[in-house]
Structure 1
Amino acid sequence: MNIQLEDAQAAMKAAIDRARALDIEICVAVMDGGGRLVTFARMDQSNWASIFGSQGKAATSAATRCKSGVIPPESVVMSRIREMEGNNLIYAKGAVPLFRDGMLIGAIGVGGASADLDEACAGAGAAAIGCTTSG
């Protein structure tokens, strides 16, 4: 089971709404359970580099089934996985997996603010569609 477009867009909107409430500008990527992009948005004044950060964190979360910030960046195993995957994974706080009925359906990643604010926005996206962030 993978996230459907309607849910992905609703999660993205909730993350953006949280960013607006926090007065920050972000990029948001929602991936399916296989780490492939379903939907993406960049707020008007967000940093262009956050395009890649949000997607890399979301892919990491989908691949590991956990929050992107809990992966130690110096892990030899995870470094090799990132290399084999094409160097697109980012082991930094700001993405959460999306579980429904105990099954991974995707992940949402945010970039553009502090690590804690990015993760708060991602969490808002998960909550908006009734997903938990642990299986």
Structure 2
Amino acid sequence: MNLELALRMTEAAVRQAVREGVAISVAVVDEGGHLVSFQRMEGAGIAGPALARGKAYTSVALRGSTLELAGRTAPGGDLHGLPREGFVCVGGGVPLWADHGEGWRVVGGIGVSGGTVTQDVACAEAAAEVWRTR
């Protein structure tokens, strides 16, 4: 993960948000969950920055999309009871995977907040596509 690539990913998410007709906040973090790039569109909600960053962090820490994790943290799920501090298990967070010769590992994550879950996921996937085709 580097700044140039992270900026391209946040721009892709913003372009998708414009297509979706929604104002978002988008965060890209590295493999340690540290913020590399962040953008907040004009008119995006007040909670968006914290939620976008939280979704990106959660996707890295738990190595899964936050959309998938939402069901796993619900009552009866295998992650039910997960402490809520720092984790945001609502769709819009996507981990970024890379093969480092010894197998695949998570090397970063994207988090988007501001639209519906479907819109947030679409914007996060647009950013992830930049990673996959780098």
> Shared topology, TM-score over 0.5?
yes
Tell me the equivalent position of 1:89.
87
8 Å contact 2:12–2:130 — kept in the other structure?
yes
Query: Could you report, residue by residue, the CA deviation over 1:96-117 in whole angstroms, capped at 9, with x for unpaired residues?
Result: 0011233321000000001111
Q: CA deviation at 1:36?
A: 1.2
Q: CA deviation at 1:88?
A: 1.5
Aligned residue pairs total 125
Tell me the equivalent position of 1:23.
21
Tell me the equivalent position of 2:129.
127
Candidates 34, 37, 47, aligned match of 1:36 = 34
Paired residue secondary structure (1:103): strand
Paired residue secondary structure (1:110): strand
Paired residue secondary structure (1:116): helix
Q: Percent identity?
A: 34
Mapped to 2, the partners of 1:14 and 1:106 lie a distance apart of 16
Tell me the equivalent position of 2:73.
73
Query: Could you report, residue by residue, the CA deviation over 1:45-81 in whole angstroms, capped at 9, with x for unpaired residues?
Result: 100111111111111000011101212333585644x
Mapped to 1, the partners of 2:8 and 2:33 lie a distance apart of 18
Q: Which moved more, 1:101-110 or 1:42-51?
A: 101-110
Tell me the equivalent position of 1:48.
46
Mapped to 2, the partners of 1:52 and 1:78 lie a distance apart of 22
Q: Could you say if the C-alpha distance between residues 77 and 12 of structure 1 is closer, same or farther in structure 2, counting changes exceeding 3 Å?
A: same
Q: CA deviation at 1:7?
A: 0.9
Mapped to 2, the partners of 1:122 and 1:52 lie a distance apart of 15
8 Å contact 2:31–2:108 — kept in the other structure?
yes
Provide the alpha-carbon RMSD of the alignment: 1.7
Tell me the equivalent position of 2:117.
115
Q: CA deviation at 1:17?
A: 0.5
Q: Which moved more, 1:41-50 or 1:69-78?
A: 69-78
Gaps of 5+ in 2: none
Gaps of 5+ in 1: none
Paired residue secondary structure (2:132): coil
Candidates 5, 8, 16, aligned match of 1:7 = 5
